[in-house]
Structure 1
Amino acid sequence: MKWGKKYSGIIIEIISVLFIVLFVYAGFTKLMEGDRFFNNLNNSPILPGNATAYILSWGIPILEILVAFFVAWPRTQLKGLYAALGLMILFTLYVAGIVFFSPYTPCSCGGILTLLTWPQHLVVNICFVSLAIIAIRLYHIRKLSNVELYHYKVE
């Protein structure tokens, strides 16, 4: 048995747990520090207007928690991983915009991420984008190898 086939399920689960912890922590932190998160979004040099900040200050944390549930539930895990990848790409683009194009850098996100600089935050986001891609790829490889194994058993 190849190493990848043997450990791919464990790797997918570890990456899934990392996303669940990340999104549940980030979502609840943003909800608990709602005024601070709204002010950070409202003062962003990239996002337009008060209405956008209001919608995002509620939408982002709810979406993060929802994606965590999708990743946690086996029947929707792959969809959750795709949603996690999409969110992380959007967050990475936002942070890259702050790092490379913003005339000033606003306050960081709440929670433990306040300890990171914006360039460090960008690196963390790129790592999570990579982890999502790895998990999705392994999920598909594992699914294909299970289908092939099933066909060999039937014949």
Structure 2
Amino acid sequence: MKRQQLLAIVILLLSLLFVYAAGAKALAYDRFVSDLGKSPLLQSFINESTLAKSVLGIEFLTVVLLHIPSTKKWGLYVAFIQLLVFTGYLSALYLFYPHSACACNGILGAVTYPAHLVFNGVCTLVALLGIMVFNHLKKRPPLRVVYNAHALTPAVDYR
């Protein structure tokens, strides 16, 4: 599989993930805000309404960044950081407050913490793979010197 195809698959998977996650939260917005307010890690940190709007905005913005050619790299980095932060948040909830509910809606709201952590870990690795593939595509190939058999003169080949 070519690297460009792999990058396209990664961007598609991340886009589906963020559109689904943000869409599920937006459709059950009141429940999402309420669940954020119940989180023991976030109670004294920030207003849950402001946090809910920020999370939704960042998730939708990530999808937009992933699909604009000039911001694709930023979209991959934002997706990776967002997944990394959320996986850390879930890990802290699971380790220190195992009986608290996750603020996720949809399918992920119904799974156990270990399954959710594995899913987020895999998605984080997918985003990291996307960054690595993108950065590799943007590098210039190494310069090779080939010799013309007839003239015995060096020529430059950028393959």
Shorter-chain TM range is 0.7 to 0.9
| 3-state SS in 1 of match to 2:47 | helix
Structure 1: state its 5+ residue gaps.
1-5
Assess, with a 3 A threshold, how the Cα gap between structure 1 residues 108 and 60 changes in structure 2: closer, same or farther.
closer
Instruction: Find the counterpart in structure 2 of residue 124 from structure 1.
Output: 119
Q: Aligned runs of 1:106-145 on 2, under 5 Å? A: 106-144=101-139
Q: Aligned runs of 1:2-151 on 2, under 5 Å? A: 7-49=2-44, 51-102=46-97, 104-144=99-139, 147-148=140-141
How big is the shift at 1:104? 2.4
| 3-state SS in 1 of match to 2:138 | helix
Q: Segments of 4+ in structure 1 off by > 2 A?
A: 48-52, 148-154
Aligned-partner Cα distance in 2 for 1:56–1:20: 21
Instruction: Find the counterpart in structure 1 of residue 147 from structure 2.
Output: none
Structure 2: state its 5+ residue gaps.
145-155
Letter in 2 for 1:83: V
Aligned-partner Cα distance in 1 for 2:26–2:11: 22
| 3-state SS in 2 of match to 1:20 | helix
Larger Rg computed on CA atoms: 2
**What is the TM-score of this pair, normalised by structure 1?**
0.86
Letter in 2 for 1:46: L
**What is the TM-score of this pair, normalised by structure 2?**
0.84
Name whichever structure is richer in strand by fraction. 2
Q: Is the 8 A contact 1:95 1:122 kept in 2?
A: yes
Cα RMSD of the aligned pairs, angstroms, is 2.0
Name whichever structure is richer in helix by fraction. 1
Percent identical among aligned pairs is 29
